[in-house]
């Protein structure tokens, strides 16, 4: 065998979870890469494969053995190794014996801290064939499998029963046993098109052989693009455009080994139902792609992806049309039934549904949210009555037949039913937009009523769950508080709403107190606020804002998210100025001086004690600028204020070059500290610049 060879591992199973398939393939690749790195085995590249019945990885140019290494053991220092007569001490004799050699075989290692005796021995690298089974086992154990299963009488556990294993290094099989299965050199083709085994002569033959002989496209990404291309092509043939959702595309890719896309049709009458309901039925239940016309309107067609190339595709098409028709008929029935009574009539049912045991029913939550939304809307210049109405209707559609069958339509159906009832447009839109943003990067509520309702709903959940002591821990976040906090912050910041978080949290706590549910302490409000600041940190980090900028602003604890954003943008712009680094360093120096002041920090400046020209110059510049920048700070124009303050750099640098702050004369010392405190305080109107890191 040559010094390098290709390596292939494949694990063949029962059908793997389609939604998890991509993650499983990527995790296998990452685990093998990590294992090869730890084993110090070099390679050219890796390529992972994932299909419904298999996970595999192909490593090209893998070293067939570890490089030999020199093992070095350090013994006692030379000064402690020999006595005055030059004879080896017991310490060095013991060290040599433990190494299995005589003292004369030891070598000397020179370091900055002195000379040491060492024993060096050659360590032969292990063959890759010895190491790879362990690397693969470790990678499989690390796969993100929420619940592993056993099968038969075996105690082995995996996501699905394992039927075959391939482990090839070059053209040789690496003998190993996992999950009660021995490794071999044969894989299997498509369950129906080629159920027989396929012999693999070498790793590079894996994907081409499976595709040409086995009717299996093993490469997940290539198969995904094939599905996309086929679906788009079929849609064009229908005179429309396929709407391809990435999550659905991944799931469908995880369901088929040999994709064949084909169209199906349904009756025009079904289009009387809101398109979202029909789409949910097609996507959620049947994993179909829907088709729209040039205007974006739903067409009476769908596209399914079969896992076989049937000799009679018309039968396959008819079967899919037969399956989807009852689903669409259900949607029609729910649509007709739900509109027989006004949406508001469903409110009575909310009292029978528990939101959270300690926090009451959905009806009680609705009362809190409606009152809070009305107050927020009024604060934002919106109509209190409309926000109150939106809050009262906000959860009614959860009691509808349609949302009972298709939970993902919550809010959407509320908007349709409210519109049908003649509810004001702003209220109807708010019922849908209260759930925005639903995911990272999603759009935000557009109008004041919707914004007020979305904020109120999220606040109620956040405060309530924190009040009962169930904040998110680790990966567990059953009430989606992280998403709620981030969504709330995004709405306030990106819509530039003049809202104060502490006031909102206190107001929300008051709603719970009115109902006599839970008592929300000031400490709990602070904890909730701190939790939201953690989410705000993630929000800005994702936008590329450096952490020290965020911490500089956070230290001032602004309670208005919009104000926080203005400060952050101002400090970000300030950092680009040529004076920024020097002034940040000066603020850090001042902060350290102020920390060491024993007792109250002096604030009064006595001009008669300003004896040095540089301190008089700083005082003059500071006095003049204070009158200029304070109105800017008060107006929230932090960028303009910091830009003005940047002109202090020369005076500040000169002061520190020529003035001894900690003078022997106590009065002079306190006066200088007061001067620096005034300077520091002015910058602190925006942020604590002492927290900025040097470039």
Same domain, 75 and 203: no
Token output for 310: 């049937």
> CATH number for the domain including 634?
1.10.730.10
Contact call for residues 565 and 491 (beta carbons, < 8 A): no
Same domain, 402 and 480: yes
Rg (CA), the chain: 35
CA triple 507-360-484, angle to 5 deg: 55
- The answer to whether position 46 is within a domain reads yes
Same domain, 180 and 232: no
Boundary (domain end) residue, out of 338, 367, 392 = 338
Same domain, 150 and 246: no
682 φ/ψ angles, rounded to the nearest 5 degrees: -65, -45
Contact call for residues 574 and 552 (beta carbons, < 8 A): no
- The answer to whether position 564 is within a domain reads no
pLDDT tens string 145-190? 888 899 888 888 999 999 999 999 999 999 999 999 999 999 999 9
In angstroms, the CA 583 to CA 633 distance is 18
Same domain, 492 and 505: yes
In angstroms, the CA 149 to CA 285 distance is 25
Same domain, 447 and 594: no
Token output for 627: 């009158």
Q: Which domain holds residue 400?
A: 353-544
In angstroms, the CA 541 to CA 544 distance is 5
- The answer to whether position 423 is within a domain reads yes
50 φ/ψ angles, rounded to the nearest 5 degrees: -150, 120
In angstroms, the CA 4 to CA 128 distance is 10
3-state SS, residue 604: coil
Same domain, 366 and 495: yes
Same domain, 614 and 669: yes
Residue 476 CB burial class (10 angstroms; 0-12, 13-18, ≥19) = exposed
In angstroms, the CA 261 to CA 563 distance is 52
Contact call for residues 508 and 463 (beta carbons, < 8 A): yes
Distance of CA 325 to the CA centre of its chain: 38
- The answer to whether position 555 is within a domain reads no
Q: What is the sign of the dihedral through the CA atoms of 118, 122, 123 and 125?
A: positive
Which of 339, 340, 319, 328 has the alpha carbon at shortest distance from 269? Answer: 328
pLDDT for res 661: 87
Same domain, 232 and 195: no
Token output for 129: 């064939």
In angstroms, the CA 351 to CA 363 distance is 5
In angstroms, the CA 444 to CA 425 distance is 17
Contact call for residues 373 and 390 (beta carbons, < 8 A): yes
> What residues contact residue 668 under an 8 Å CB cut-off, 6+ apart?
609, 611
Q: Please count the structural domains in the chain.
A: 5
> CATH number for the domain including 498?
1.10.3210
Which of 515, 519, 489, 497 has the alpha carbon at shortest distance from 506? Answer: 519
**Alpha-carbon dihedral of residues 600, 606, 609, 610, nearest 10 degrees?**
100
- The answer to whether position 659 is within a domain reads yes
pLDDT for res 695: 62
- The answer to whether position 531 is within a domain reads yes
Residue 98 CB burial class (10 angstroms; 0-12, 13-18, ≥19) = exposed
Same domain, 357 and 333: no
- The answer to whether position 404 is within a domain reads yes
The H-or-E segment that residue 372 falls in is helix 362-379
Same domain, 258 and 318: yes
Boundary (domain end) residue, out of 312, 338, 364 = 338
Boundary (domain end) residue, out of 193, 212, 231 = 212
pLDDT averaged per 10 residues in sequence order, the chain, 695 residues: 86 96 97 95 97 98 88 84 84 88 86 84 86 96 90 87 96 94 96 94 97 97 98 97 96 97 96 96 92 96 94 91 94 96 96 93 96 97 97 97 95 97 97 94 95 98 94 88 96 97 96 89 94 96 94 95 96 92 90 86 88 90 92 94 92 89 88 91 91 80
> CATH number for the domain including 202?
3.30.70
Same domain, 52 and 73: no
- The answer to whether position 375 is within a domain reads yes
In angstroms, the CA 678 to CA 685 distance is 11
3-state SS, residue 354: strand
Q: What is the sign of the dihedral through the CA atoms of 239, 240, 241 and 243?
A: negative
Distance of CA 559 to the CA centre of its chain: 25
Peptide bond before 159: cis, by omega within 30 degrees of 0?
Answer: no
């Amino acid at each position: 065998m040559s010094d390098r060879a290709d390596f292939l591992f494949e694990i063949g199973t029962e059908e793997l979870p389609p939604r998890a398939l991509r993650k499983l393939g990527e995790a296998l690749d990452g685990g093998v890469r990590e294992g090869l790195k730890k084993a110090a085995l070099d390679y050219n590249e890796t390529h992972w494969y994932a299909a419904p019945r298999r996970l595999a990885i192909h490593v090209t140019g893998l070293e067939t053995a570890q490089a030999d290494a020199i093992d070095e053991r350090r013994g006692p220092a030379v000064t402690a190794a020999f006595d005055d007569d030059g004879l080896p001490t017991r310490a060095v004799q013991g060290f040599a014996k433990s190494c299995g050699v005589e003292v004369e075989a030891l070598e000397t290692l020179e370091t900055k801290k002195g000379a040491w005796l060492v024993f060096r021995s050659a360590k032969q690298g292990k063959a890759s064939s010895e190491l790879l089974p362990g690397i693969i086992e470790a990678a499989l154990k690390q796969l993100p499998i929420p619940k592993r299963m056993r099968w038969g009488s075996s105690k082995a556990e995996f996501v699905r029963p394992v039927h075959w294993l391939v482990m090839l290094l070059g053209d040789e099989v690496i003998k190993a046993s996992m999950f009660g299965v021995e490794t071999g050199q044969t894989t299997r083709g498509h369950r129906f098109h080629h159920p027989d085994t396929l012999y693999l002569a070498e790793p590079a033959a894996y994907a081409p052989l499976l595709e040409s002989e086995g009717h299996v496209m093993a490469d997940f990404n290539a198969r995904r693009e094939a599905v996309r291309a086929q679906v788009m092509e079929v849609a064009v043939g229908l005179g429309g455009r396929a709407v391809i959702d990435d999550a659905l595309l991944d799931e469908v890719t995880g369901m088929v080994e040999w994709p064949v896309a084909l169209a199906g049709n349904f009756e025009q009458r079904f289009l009387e139902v809101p398109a979202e309901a029909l789409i949910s039925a097609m996507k959620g239940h049947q994993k179909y792609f829907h088709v729209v016309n040039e205007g974006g309107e739903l067409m009476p067609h769908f596209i399914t992806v079969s896992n076989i190339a049937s000799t009679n595709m018309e039968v396959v098409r008819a079967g899919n049309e037969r399956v989807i028709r009852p689903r669409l008929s259900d949607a029609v029935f729910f649509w007709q039934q739900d509109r027989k009574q006004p949406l508001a009539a469903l409110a009575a049912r909310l009292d029978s549904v528990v939101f959270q045991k300690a926090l009451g029913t959905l009806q009680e939550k609705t009362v809190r949210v409606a009152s809070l939304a009305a107050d927020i809307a009024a604060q934002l210049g919106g109509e209190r009555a409309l926000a109150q109405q939106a809050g009262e209707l906000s959860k009614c559609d959860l009691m509808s037949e349609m949302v009972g069958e298709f939970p993902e339509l919550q809010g959407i159906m509320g908007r349709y039913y409210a519109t049908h009832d003649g509810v004001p447009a702003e209220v109807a839109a708010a019922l849908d937009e209260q759930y925005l943003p639903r995911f990272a990067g999603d759009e935000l509520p557009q109008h004041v009523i919707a914004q007020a309702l979305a904020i109120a709903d999220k606040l109620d959940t956040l405060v309530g769950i924190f009040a009962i002591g169930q904040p998110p821990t680790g990966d567990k976040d059953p009430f989606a508080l992280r998403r709620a906090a981030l969504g709330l912050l995004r709405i306030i910041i990106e819509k530039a709403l003049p809202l104060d978080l502490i006031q909102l949290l206190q107001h929300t706590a008051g709603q719970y107190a009115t109902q006599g549910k839970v008592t929300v302490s000031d400490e709990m409000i602070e904890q909730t606020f701190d939790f939201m600041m953690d989410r705000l940190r993630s929000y800005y980090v994702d936008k590329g804002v450096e952490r020290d900028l965020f911490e500089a602003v956070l230290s001032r604890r602004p309670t208005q998210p919009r104000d926080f954003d203005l400060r952050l943008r101002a400090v970000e712009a300030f950092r680009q100025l040529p004076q920024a680094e020097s002034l940040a360093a000066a603020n850090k120096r001042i902060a350290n001086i102020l920390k060491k002041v024993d007792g109250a920090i002096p604030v009064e400046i006595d001009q008669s004690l300003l004896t040095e020209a540089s301190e008089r110059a700083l005082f003059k510049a500071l006095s003049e600028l204070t009158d200029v920048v304070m109105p800017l700070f008060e107006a929230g124009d932090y960028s303009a204020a910091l830009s003005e303050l940047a002109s202090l750099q020369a005076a500040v640098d000169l002061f520190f070059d020529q003035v001894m702050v900690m003078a022997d004369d106590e009065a002079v010392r306190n006066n200088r500290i007061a001067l620096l405190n005034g300077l520091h305080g002015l910058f602190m109107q925006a942020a604590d610049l002492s927290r900025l890191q040097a470039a």
